[in-house]
Structure 1
């Protein structure tokens, strides 16, 4: 097997060699769909692969991977294309594109679902919600199931049911050597441990088997909105209020400028605000009582917290994170909202320039923290919150200024950093990956890497390299 090194020369003979064993339609530069297919969600990423291989099934995955390793081509793996740093596309290499593989099979009797790796979160929700079931997942419906799950999966149901990775029963995986294996608690259990939190470091997952959980179809959910000037007082009240809320409730605090959406009065468009967004995954009336103190605090500008379909709530952030905008992120866990943390957040909220930038603060705890810390490779489960600072522009205009704001904000919070979530990392280097996993977990992961991918074929990810030989 060759070692993936980078750009590969794609002549006609090499192309036709793969085409003979590939069922899908291969895409090269100059083909009609090349420009569209090479683009990913983050518009600031502009890369040109030598070949894009849209796979129709695991056989295509095996064929494309074998061809890439035989020719020494760099391998990128794409499902939803939402990788923050753009790992789902590469320059001069091969993109193993799983996006055509979207089959979802729901068994409401056993409360399980088998999901191919090209499915998006919204597609999974639409398949499970008719049965009043769901897999805890993320907060943007056009995110890929695969990437989100393999890194953990934080979202609206996390405190009630745990992370996406906590729902996994098994995966079907193609190894660096082209072998197709079933990975579960009883089949390659150590690899199953590593897959749950260490992304695609060990192979290409082509199918997931999830446990489903009762949710909805109606939940109490939505934002309560205050002027940004009130943010310090709102967050101090919020800090105390969440100490007593049940696991059925997950909240996200967002600072941003109000976007021009139908539910928002026109006179509030562009106004800097802080909002507490809740999703209560239990009885709606009980949820209303839990949310009442927060909704009655201070002088809210707007209260859109109401009973609604879970599907509608899952999609509420979609307009804020469309394909093609320019995105830059820095993230950190925060144990507790101290006065210093709150005041730093208020200071940097006042410095936001782009009407598209924001910084969501995810409430954790509950089922996330109760899960066995050694049961998966996911990082620190004891962190109270995860902050994701989002610098966003519609194009390159103003993007550098937003990136600078993100970096300065993240640095100002450095004394309070606690925990790293790999799904929210950019290309931040080996030190941050060590921080994400800790020395004990990282040692186990590197041993797995040596066993399953010693040549580091799967390096376009938050990479765990094999130990030096």
Structure 2
């Protein structure tokens, strides 16, 4: 739904608004409306860059009064570009990026516009961490509410597992704080139910000590892919420690020192390993992979914040992706995965990845809406290119890999990595019909008119 901007209402909004209000004639409007995916080109009628929770309250009430479609932007990384609307109201949380760390209590208070990198950097002086994404520019809000998988998940669980409370502005402009003690059913829904229930303006996270962290990168020619993937699979099936996370990635090899010159700007296979511990411990855990004789290698102890930002890319790519969760990784699935990499756009910033799951992801599954947590592997094509003429080819590759993996995959997926793939897929990702109906009941209580619909939407029950 869209509506017209009433000048009197706009003046009323501006009176006590501490942030920035942008109309299409504002000099920063075009930059502010651009989300990560360059395929998305939407023009909001108004952008409200909020400085705090009260600004969000005012913006939500303004949007309701004028009948505007409301989009909520934090990091702006969603594949579908749900952080921006055409002709409606874009609530931009990015100015709300404060992070306060209490090292004694081991908790962090995080504002709704903060990125995973903001959190990691704030915690770094205390050698404390909580689970963040594999890119530091990812917004904490969407990441956490969609589950929140990253390098630390096998050790410390998903981001939502480390939630202690969430402050939320609901569809009537009210403010609630959800935790195990207050609004517990809403708190349950926020563990994977996405942005369906309101605008998350503040989070409280549990923190964990991490005295040392190690990153290892091993590069191989692409034809060695099946051998490498099988070795990684066997390593985890034999009982790899929870401290270890490994991604096997087909990509365009970058011009880095550890990359042999004959692989630079060509399709290559990268093993990206994270270890929550020292380099000596990491080398021991990764010994079966070093034995394969990579063409180039790098291993070093680094801060978690530096590791998390190692693969950051600039905005401005055309972006399409999906994901599959696999209970097992049989040889046939390995072969199909490796064969499909030949369809990638090279050179580009695209990547085709198998990542280890298990560990605390499964152990802390509980009854949360974030489902399919007993999966052993996450397979995801992350398509990024700059030329619109590559759209058809890039999207076809993403969909083809999904079809390749479908015989081995769970019905649901990790919802943060996909676009809108239909109601059946959404319900499966939320744990099936029973959990979906429970989520729908929460939706009916906190957003009965489905004001917050730009997401993997849950219809009010």
TM-score, structure 2 length as denominator?
Answer: 0.96
Displacement, 1:38? 0.5
The match for 1:59 among 43, 54, 57 is 54
Q: Does the 8 A contact of 2:165 with 2:205 survive in 1?
A: yes
| 1:269 paired residue number | 264
The answer as to 2:400 corresponding to 1:400 is no
Q: Does the 8 A contact of 1:392 with 1:399 survive in 2?
A: no
| 1:101 paired residue number | 96
The answer as to 2:435 corresponding to 1:441 is yes
| 1:332 paired residue number | 324
Matches for 1:382-461 after TM superposition, within 5 Å: 382-418=374-410, 419-437=412-430, 438-461=432-455
Q: Does the 8 A contact of 1:220 with 1:288 survive in 2?
A: no
Q: Does the 8 A contact of 1:152 with 1:165 survive in 2?
A: yes
Q: Does the 8 A contact of 2:322 with 2:398 survive in 1?
A: yes
- Give the secondary-structure state (helix, strand or coil) at the position aligned to 1:274: strand
TM-score, structure 1 length as denominator?
Answer: 0.95
Displacement, 1:146? 0.7
Deviations 1:388-413 (A, max 9, x none): 11222123131221111111221122
Output the CA distance in 2 between the equivalents of 1:24 and 1:235: 49
Matches for 1:370-385 after TM superposition, within 5 Å: 370-374=363-367, 376-385=368-377
| 2:333 paired residue number | 341
The answer as to 2:456 corresponding to 1:462 is yes
| 1:198 paired residue number | 193
Displacement, 1:197? 0.7
- Give the secondary-structure state (helix, strand or coil) at the position aligned to 1:427: coil
Displacement, 1:454? 0.8
Q: Does the 8 A contact of 1:222 with 1:313 survive in 2?
A: no
Displacement, 1:331? 1.1
Distance 1:24 1:113, change over 3 A: same
| 1:229 paired residue number | 223
Q: CA RMSD in A?
A: 1.4
| 1:138 paired residue number | 133
| 1:300 paired residue number | 294
The answer as to 2:351 corresponding to 1:363 is no
Q: Does the 8 A contact of 1:361 with 1:386 survive in 2?
A: yes
- Give the secondary-structure state (helix, strand or coil) at the position aligned to 2:334: helix
Output the CA distance in 1 between the equivalents of 2:81 and 2:45: 16
Matches for 1:276-291 after TM superposition, within 5 Å: 276-291=271-286
- Give the secondary-structure state (helix, strand or coil) at the position aligned to 1:18: helix
- Give the secondary-structure state (helix, strand or coil) at the position aligned to 2:91: strand
| 1:3 paired residue number | none
Q: Does the 8 A contact of 1:354 with 1:392 survive in 2?
A: no
Q: Does the 8 A contact of 2:145 with 2:190 survive in 1?
A: yes
Output the CA distance in 2 between the equivalents of 1:397 and 1:93: 29
In structure 2, stretches of 5+ residues that fail to align are: none
Q: Does the 8 A contact of 2:260 with 2:295 survive in 1?
A: no
Output the CA distance in 2 between the equivalents of 1:432 and 1:354: 30
Displacement, 1:263? 4.9
Output the CA distance in 1 between the equivalents of 2:337 and 2:267: 13
Output the CA distance in 1 between the equivalents of 2:216 and 2:275: 9
Output the CA distance in 1 between the equivalents of 2:69 and 2:32: 17
Q: Does the 8 A contact of 2:356 with 2:378 survive in 1?
A: yes
Q: Does the 8 A contact of 2:221 with 2:263 survive in 1?
A: no
Output the CA distance in 2 between the equivalents of 1:73 and 1:262: 51
Output the CA distance in 1 between the equivalents of 2:302 and 2:204: 28
Output the CA distance in 1 between the equivalents of 2:75 and 2:170: 20
Output the CA distance in 1 between the equivalents of 2:356 and 2:45: 42
Output the CA distance in 1 between the equivalents of 2:361 and 2:326: 15
The answer as to 2:241 corresponding to 1:249 is no
Displacement, 1:315? 1.1
The answer as to 2:158 corresponding to 1:166 is no
